[in-house]
Structure 1
């Protein structure tokens, strides 16, 4: 039976449009199989094909005269014990796992991939060498949409573009940017597969810019290795890709709160006043972010001091301790540059901390901030020196790290890093910077989750806990318009916490409408962090009275959603599913959603459509999935799926809708997540007769212990619903980790869309006095607090 299936796969590939892909010059000369690897000898080199899982396979080409380089910056998964079969059918070889089949046609030589009988992609010319680049080419199908290549703003379907792979800042960008701080050599297809090119060196990723049906990877040197990840659904592709490159550990709970940040607070007195003003204005706050003035009075000339300027921050440790008592963490900026005018320059030179020139001397060059050297993360002297500075600062009270300019922003090609040229490490520099902090915490502070905010990295940086942001976006409507696409695309590529400087960063633009709309969007994206140049205040406490009221409402909603958002983050840490998700992840007619970014999903349950134009009197929302039902979060008005609908925007919030059958746990607003206990939860259930069964959950732990779930220090409350014959049953079942001291947890169950007063309501078989609001069609049932709650609510409608 298995042989028949393999033969069928080969016939499918032979009949597919990908069968035209070929390289007439390459000839197969032989093959061997050792353990889990298929080794194919060709006229110009060797192919090594190795499965990692049923739906992940890696292919490496080693040109004649070269040696295999086994090192990968991206891959975290070890090759699995996969039951792969090899069949020689004469004209072709078929190397197949239970999911992916790799077919190697012998003459002409061609490698193609299928998943469960579904053709995916094939090498076109495969590997080639040109004057400037080494290339790997694939044949694409007609109508196939492509995503990936890192952070860009060019439209969701990126086919037709050629993207440079060189992390580079784009100051003040608006609604379009072809090159930003964070590039990745990965392509995802609407056919539900991904190809990751496992090489951080600089180059290009061509998404069929020549309109000849070719995906082309062009690189300056290094490995010729790629992985193909496939799935029946986007959930499976995301799980496979993040299983391969690593999953984001759960951030500290305070990371889901509000941040006070600007460029920048210049003194201890000013910083204290800002924190106290948030508290006085009753706008919740969990972190204050200090830009470069914490180590120097001027923008230029001081970078690399990496120590408190005691004139401006005379009692920094006491300040941070005071903030901590108020529930506010202190985050400080650092950059990888040490200026020749900084206090640490001579120390850095003497300790051989810096990247070198061709003579082996500490290299210097000019950029905006002054004459500088660059910390070399690729030799132990540089890593140890930088980590020891971080360790000392942390012991003094620093609660989180902001790594800026880590592309690196200016990076001369002649620099040497641990013996390697700049282009070999440029795209992975931020990745290894995040790795330095993550590994330092695992060694020195193993119980604590680090907070690592950085704007540049590489494939797999999420496994170090990196939280990226979208760079120096302009304070403009165009700047806001590009943010959904950037975050959605990065989430698809494993970086689920990509977010923006809320309100926009660059330019002295005072536009309260833009500011409020950006913050309203910020409620439903990964990190709520207004940040901007100082000329116009980014903090809501300094805005006009009306803007402050609307901003406060947005922050309150963000805090009310903490139980939902934290559970969503837990799911990401376990499955790799992003927090922000494109509509095509759920749309039952994917062609209708392939290029939509303006409306997206926040987790599995919210449909969000930010207002991104000034004075908008009408707003289009696409409701996915014909037959589904969506409820307006604020009015409970019903909307049907499969429809492009025009709604009227209101000032107080952006259009947000909740899926019928959703369980949404919400909390009472606190001034800081330090005050959140989760002991009393408002559990909203969105009932509709079309939903016969549904489920959801609430994840809870102490919010700070690293690896809490793995250590058994957690609680999960699972919810389920069943509806039939006019009776709605909602169940609660608690799972407690082996090391978790269970606490009493009560729920106020709020059932939406109950059209008439129920005939009866029971909790565990006992009748209870439930409240029904006729105007809002809302049923309110109190479920008493219990440890390890197991309960059942039955509503007879």
Structure 2
């Protein structure tokens, strides 16, 4: 036996070492390294190529039973060949058969990161160094192992048993609590397989629209084609965005997640078992995570990629947008009629007309100026301040492209901050044919060059931020148009950067805010991205979606996957960007558009941040504002509900920031043990306490809605339903011809609300502390801050706990506040609507004194008080017969 063969038999090298998991704590990380022997396998393509070399027999037919089977010794392979071919043929062509089928021995490295998480890579890795990770994740926050035992064929942790097959390097992972999770096996050079027995629900993996008109967020039975790009879909174009985090769950089985740690395009084939995962470049490297359910698994993932920042409070309101406003007058006209119809509005979004529009294929197109077109938008600083005085913020679009005839292109090229032609070292045209694109003709900023990103931010964005711009709309960042021959900083090829291009762009914006110590918090709305963009203050929207309800239903389906991928704030162009995608006869188009918009606006008002009507309107012949398209009364009711819920939603945003709790989780996130709650993307939670649903079907007037076991209250009326895990059939979604999507509160819910009684409502912190209370025992923490700055990260915020419980005399609500922020109210009234009261209330006491300003009607008790000192504990007692 030669030296190489001896090396390949060295299996199960385990190397313990120390790895820092925090500034003050260390956890022992065990590292296991394995090598397999040479093996033999015939693939279909190998057999096909041998058909002429072995003319004596039809090898494609004869060797078909052996295709894809791996043999771990030469003798076993030759023996199998002789069962299919004559001995004489095998002996004659043995050397060729061995050469074509021989598979080099593989390497396997495993690092044990915690009792529930192992890092697996089918690659050679020195025994004394940890497996590397991409910049997208950080393993430092993982807990490390509490207990690890080495055994002859693997190891055990406190929660897992991991077995390694020495021949094929398959890794079997079993949970001590609930049994086998999966078998992971190497496949070809860039791929591996997952064999998981049972009916798994597969979620996560970012967005890729499929199955028009069907509500299905489960990837099982599909091929998920990765790599950031735009794809045509139902008359529009939606994003295919790579977030390589897979969740495999089942109410009856132990659940697991798998994070594929790659920046290259990844494909996931769930068409048959075993499932196959492949990367376009590099050896597969991934983290396998075990957990009780989606909450635990997502928490582990968020530790790797980071929690979202709290968006500015204004982003929870409505933002008006179109492609695009040609001048201030056009925008002002839209705002004027919204005000006349008493619609609330928190911001306007400016498309590329703000910097002078673009000219197709022109080297002097204004793409990349990021400077106001003062002819059509004069005195922008004064205008932004005027809008701010009216409570209206501004978000501006930007792209990474710069027309080559602009001074900006020259300055960036001179400094080496554009993507380069490797032959000349100068900026490369984004069009390989040197003709240009719809936006003009020029180059693309290299966001991997930190100095270049800093230069651009300080030159272009800082003046806009100082004017009062509070949001950055990053468009075309897949990137959609690029020259594959271009090289980035350090001569990196395009393939090394493509899927993190938008990530680096967003990171550059965030770092610009940090470097300049900008007081306002960063907010970005992006068309593309990668794991971790939420920690920069970035959100995502689904791109240029078509105007039809089939696309809206797919938006429903992608939202749970985006939430599990770490994107809490996932929105859409309300009403659809491409109006030509509307599926209706000419005579029915107006009615179809109105209904489509009305349903879409109602859904977005419940589940999207921001609520942002948007459409292509270059002809100035389309409407996007909710007072001009759709049903007026329905749109007003939908947005009124959104503004009423902002105190609750904003509190959830703080929970997402400090505890990684999702703002809009799927049903199975909190009810994963209920088989009927699985894969219902038309229904969604808002935090733990509210359950709602959208509709996306022309002419739909009623819907079926599933309520998990327990008591549920109609959010609006307080009507109680006791469910054993049942469907509410034929629930009306219109009341008096006004759309009213179902919304239920769970028993014990306390929902802080905006108690304003008259439209237009505002997103500001309400002067009154108001809440809707459902049932008798619950708690909720209301988070409030200045809504705009980063001061909340320094602890400048108020947390007000509201707690209800049963007492001997009846019920008690306790309100306690701690913390403070600039301009926070020192005293405020209390307004409570308490639903589900059984029995007659005899009296209500406020801090021990009887008060009279309350009513009881049909099981609902309404209480109002005068101003109460915020820093004092408040007790509201309901004395019940």
> Partner of 2:595 in structure 1?
513
> Partner of 1:18 in structure 2?
none
Q: Distance in 2 between matches of 1:195 and 1:434?
A: 25
Give me the TM-score of the superposition, normalised by structure 2. Answer: 0.80
Q: Distance in 2 between matches of 1:26 and 1:654?
A: 64
> Partner of 1:384 in structure 2?
454
Q: CA offset at residue 446 of structure 1?
A: 4.1
For the residue of structure 2 that corresponds to 1:244, the secondary structure is helix
Q: Distance in 2 between matches of 1:741 and 1:792?
A: 21
**Judging changes above 3 Å, is the alpha-carbon distance between structure 1 residues 311 and 770 closer, same or farther for their aligned structure 2 residues?**
closer
User: Contact 2:169–2:186 (CA<8 Å) still a contact in 1?
Assistant: no
Q: CA offset at residue 737 of structure 1?
A: 5.7
Q: Distance in 2 between matches of 1:617 and 1:27?
A: 68
Q: CA offset at residue 73 of structure 1?
A: 2.5
For the residue of structure 1 that corresponds to 2:367, the secondary structure is coil
Q: CA offset at residue 765 of structure 1?
A: 2.6
Q: Distance in 1 between matches of 2:726 and 2:403?
A: 57
The answer to whether residue 637 in structure 2 is matched with residue 553 in structure 1 is yes
Q: CA offset at residue 716 of structure 1?
A: 0.9
User: Contact 1:620–1:645 (CA<8 Å) still a contact in 2?
Assistant: yes
**Judging changes above 3 Å, is the alpha-carbon distance between structure 1 residues 451 and 173 closer, same or farther for their aligned structure 2 residues?**
farther
> Partner of 2:296 in structure 1?
236
Q: CA offset at residue 186 of structure 1?
A: 1.4
**Judging changes above 3 Å, is the alpha-carbon distance between structure 1 residues 145 and 673 closer, same or farther for their aligned structure 2 residues?**
same
For the residue of structure 2 that corresponds to 1:428, the secondary structure is helix
> Partner of 1:393 in structure 2?
464
For the residue of structure 1 that corresponds to 2:144, the secondary structure is coil
> Partner of 1:257 in structure 2?
317
1:197 aligned to 260, 263, 267, which one? 260
User: Contact 1:195–1:227 (CA<8 Å) still a contact in 2?
Assistant: yes
User: Contact 1:172–1:507 (CA<8 Å) still a contact in 2?
Assistant: no
> Partner of 1:22 in structure 2?
none
User: Contact 1:170–1:472 (CA<8 Å) still a contact in 2?
Assistant: no
Structure 1, residues 428-476: CA drift from partner, whole Å, max 9, x if none? 1111111011111011134321111101001111111111001111111
> Partner of 2:193 in structure 1?
137
> Partner of 1:218 in structure 2?
278
Structure 1, residues 68-105: CA drift from partner, whole Å, max 9, x if none? 87352221341656244442333x22142x44554435
> Partner of 1:752 in structure 2?
835
Q: Distance in 2 between matches of 1:681 and 1:622?
A: 32
**Judging changes above 3 Å, is the alpha-carbon distance between structure 1 residues 46 and 171 closer, same or farther for their aligned structure 2 residues?**
closer
> Partner of 2:650 in structure 1?
566
The answer to whether residue 424 in structure 2 is matched with residue 336 in structure 1 is no
The answer to whether residue 509 in structure 2 is matched with residue 437 in structure 1 is yes
Q: Distance in 1 between matches of 2:817 and 2:438?
A: 56
The answer to whether residue 426 in structure 2 is matched with residue 361 in structure 1 is yes
Q: Which moved more, 1:552-561 or 1:664-673?
A: 664-673
**Judging changes above 3 Å, is the alpha-carbon distance between structure 1 residues 635 and 212 closer, same or farther for their aligned structure 2 residues?**
same
Structure 1, residues 492-522: CA drift from partner, whole Å, max 9, x if none? 1111111111122111554222212211111
Q: CA offset at residue 792 of structure 1?
A: 2.1
Q: Distance in 1 between matches of 2:537 and 2:162?
A: 34
Q: Which moved more, 1:739-748 or 1:762-771?
A: 739-748
User: Contact 2:800–2:815 (CA<8 Å) still a contact in 1?
Assistant: yes
Q: CA offset at residue 285 of structure 1?
A: 1.4
> Partner of 1:10 in structure 2?
none
User: Contact 2:278–2:284 (CA<8 Å) still a contact in 1?
Assistant: no
Structure 1, residues 654-699: CA drift from partner, whole Å, max 9, x if none? 1111112110111134989977233312211012xxx6x3211211
> Partner of 1:185 in structure 2?
244
The answer to whether residue 353 in structure 2 is matched with residue 293 in structure 1 is yes
The answer to whether residue 488 in structure 2 is matched with residue 417 in structure 1 is yes
1:34 aligned to 8, 17, 32, which one? 17
Q: Distance in 2 between matches of 1:52 and 1:279?
A: 56
For the residue of structure 1 that corresponds to 2:655, the secondary structure is helix
Q: Which has the larger radius of gyration?
A: 2
User: Contact 2:402–2:445 (CA<8 Å) still a contact in 1?
Assistant: yes
**Judging changes above 3 Å, is the alpha-carbon distance between structure 1 residues 285 and 188 closer, same or farther for their aligned structure 2 residues?**
same
Q: CA offset at residue 124 of structure 1?
A: 3.0
> Partner of 2:879 in structure 1?
796
Q: Distance in 1 between matches of 2:838 and 2:705?
A: 26
Q: CA offset at residue 331 of structure 1?
A: 0.9
Q: Distance in 2 between matches of 1:489 and 1:565?
A: 20
The answer to whether residue 566 in structure 2 is matched with residue 494 in structure 1 is yes
Structure 2: unaligned runs, 5 residues or longer: 1-7, 19-28, 37-104, 211-215, 583-589
Q: CA offset at residue 740 of structure 1?
A: 9.4
**Judging changes above 3 Å, is the alpha-carbon distance between structure 1 residues 81 and 648 closer, same or farther for their aligned structure 2 residues?**
closer
Q: Distance in 1 between matches of 2:869 and 2:248?
A: 47
> Partner of 2:123 in structure 1?
62
Q: Distance in 1 between matches of 2:378 and 2:847?
A: 60
1:705 aligned to 770, 784, 789, which one? 789
**Judging changes above 3 Å, is the alpha-carbon distance between structure 1 residues 772 and 163 closer, same or farther for their aligned structure 2 residues?**
same
Q: Distance in 1 between matches of 2:9 and 2:712?
A: 55
User: Contact 2:831–2:862 (CA<8 Å) still a contact in 1?
Assistant: no
User: Contact 1:761–1:793 (CA<8 Å) still a contact in 2?
Assistant: yes
> Partner of 2:534 in structure 1?
462
**Judging changes above 3 Å, is the alpha-carbon distance between structure 1 residues 85 and 636 closer, same or farther for their aligned structure 2 residues?**
closer
**Judging changes above 3 Å, is the alpha-carbon distance between structure 1 residues 65 and 89 closer, same or farther for their aligned structure 2 residues?**
closer
Q: CA offset at residue 742 of structure 1?
A: 6.9
Q: Distance in 2 between matches of 1:483 and 1:34?
A: 46
Q: CA offset at residue 277 of structure 1?
A: 3.7
> Partner of 2:852 in structure 1?
769
Q: Distance in 2 between matches of 1:674 and 1:351?
A: 46
Q: How many residues align?
A: 753
For the residue of structure 2 that corresponds to 1:344, the secondary structure is helix
> Partner of 2:682 in structure 1?
598
Q: Distance in 2 between matches of 1:273 and 1:442?
A: 37
2:765 aligned to 677, 684, 692, which one? 677
Q: Distance in 2 between matches of 1:284 and 1:497?
A: 20
> Partner of 1:406 in structure 2?
477
> Partner of 1:694 in structure 2?
778
The answer to whether residue 116 in structure 2 is matched with residue 73 in structure 1 is no
Q: Distance in 2 between matches of 1:285 and 1:337?
A: 31
> Partner of 2:84 in structure 1?
none
The answer to whether residue 720 in structure 2 is matched with residue 660 in structure 1 is no
User: Contact 1:261–1:530 (CA<8 Å) still a contact in 2?
Assistant: yes
The answer to whether residue 676 in structure 2 is matched with residue 612 in structure 1 is no
For the residue of structure 2 that corresponds to 1:523, the secondary structure is helix
User: Contact 2:828–2:866 (CA<8 Å) still a contact in 1?
Assistant: no
Q: CA offset at residue 794 of structure 1?
A: 2.2
**Judging changes above 3 Å, is the alpha-carbon distance between structure 1 residues 683 and 328 closer, same or farther for their aligned structure 2 residues?**
same
Q: CA RMSD in A?
A: 2.8
Structure 1: unaligned runs, 5 residues or longer: 1-24
